[in-house]
Amino acid sequence: MTAPLNLIKLCVGAEGPEDLERWQDMRFGDGPAVHVTRMWPKREAELLDGGSIYWVFKGVLLARQKILRLDESFGEDGIRRCALVLDRELHRVSAVPRRPFQGWRYLAGEDAPPDLPKGRESEDPLPAEIAAALAQMGLV
């Protein structure tokens, strides 16, 4: 079985996963979370076959949410956009440093960090510099 295709995105303005959870609670209540992006993923079928969006907070990949579906959305300017409809459960993952980038990128399943085991979800991640140094040494 192949690992699912995923997306990776910067979570701008949030300090960490708890901020994202708080914001989604206020914005969406009990319903699914929605993130609107300008570009429609060409590999939609692969994403919907178990893919997630992985969130980068302040240069460190820390969490993921399962992608439920992609909905068509139109902005006030009339331009078609893609609404990523996400499961509300935010899974903490092993911290991995990531450089800044614009928009979203595909993330192959085999390159995605593993989920943290139950009971470790609330651990503070390593500072970005330390995580980057450990990653360069092949230790994380």
**What does pTM read for this prediction?**
0.84
Tell me the Ramachandran region of residue 81: left when phi exceeds 0, alpha when psi lies from -120 to 50, beta otherwise: beta
Tell me whether residue 42 is in a domain.
Answer: yes
Residue 1 lies in a domain: no
Query: How many domains does the chain contain in total?
Result: 1
Domain limits at 123? 6-136
In a domain, 58, yes or no: yes
Q: Are 44 and 72 in contact (CB under 8 A)?
A: no
> pLDDT band at 57, cuts 50/70/90?
very high
Question: Where residue 88 falls among pLDDT bands split at 50, 70, 90?
Answer: very high
| Whether the Cβ atoms of residue 122 and residue 18 lie closer than 8 Å to each other | no
What residues have CB less than 8 Å from 87, skipping those under 6 apart? Answer: 32, 33, 65, 66, 67, 68
20-51 tens-digit pLDDT: 999 999 999 888 999 999 999 999 999 999 99
Would 26 be classed as within a structural domain?
A: yes
Counting every residue, how long is the chain?
Answer: 140
Terminal alpha carbon distance of the chain: 24
Question: Is residue 104 a part of any domain in this protein?
Answer: yes
